């Protein structure tokens, strides 16, 4: 493992960053890989990437704050995503978010006090025919009603 600016990246990630250092479009590819390994883009991870790619930290923050894919805070152990794309919104996506907040005291963008769950509102997960859709840790749940939320959450508690 490599310790860079107070954060430790795996040897595989360090090798990936070195491989992509001189390639066009490298920053987004590297940041995706960092988030895949670390779970989010922390200040320390951004500092390390800036140093390893020899780019200004402001450039890193410009990219991670522009693209909604990048997370700037550590997600919960089980990251919940509720789709609010057109089909999901029209079929009750917001009521799913409201129910999650009611049951877990978890507003969008937050993490539960115990770190077990985090909640994101997303624009589309590509399952419009299953609207409304929520995912928990990548597992997809379709045609979700607010009455099903407690049972879905119980699977991950």
Q: At CA 41, angle to CA 149 and CA 76, rounded to 5?
A: 25
Burial of residue 97 (CB within 10 Å: 0-12, 13-18, 19+) is: buried
The pLDDT, as a whole number, for residue 3 is: 52
In this predicted structure, the answer to whether residue 5 has a pLDDT above a threshold of 80 is: no
8-66 pLDDT, tens digit per residue, is 999 999 999 999 999 998 999 999 999 999 999 999 999 999 999 999 999 999 999 99
In this predicted structure, the answer to whether residue 6 has a pLDDT above a threshold of 80 is: no
Burial of residue 107 (CB within 10 Å: 0-12, 13-18, 19+) is: exposed
* DSSP-derived pairing of the beta strands 134-136 and 7-9: unpaired
């Amino acid at each position: 493992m490599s310790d860079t600016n107070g954060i430790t990246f795996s040897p595989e990630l360090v090798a990936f960053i070195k491989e992509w250092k001189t390639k066009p479009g490298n920053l987004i590819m590297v940041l995706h890989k960092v988030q895949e390994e670390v779970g989010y883009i922390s200040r320390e991870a951004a500092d390390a990437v800036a140093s390893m790619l020899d780019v200004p930290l402001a450039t890193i923050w410009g990219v991670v704050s522009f693209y909604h894919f990048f997370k700037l805070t550590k997600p919960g152990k089980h990251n919940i995503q509720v789709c609010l794309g057109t089909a999901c919104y029209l079929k009750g996506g917001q009521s799913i978010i409201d129910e999650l907040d009611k049951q877990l005291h978890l507003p969008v963008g937050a993490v539960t006090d115990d770190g077990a769950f985090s909640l994101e509102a997303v624009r589309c997960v590509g399952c419009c025919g299953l609207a409304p859709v929520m995912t928990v840790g990548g597992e997809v749940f379709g045609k979700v009603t607010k009455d099903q939320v407690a049972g879905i959450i119980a699977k991950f508690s």
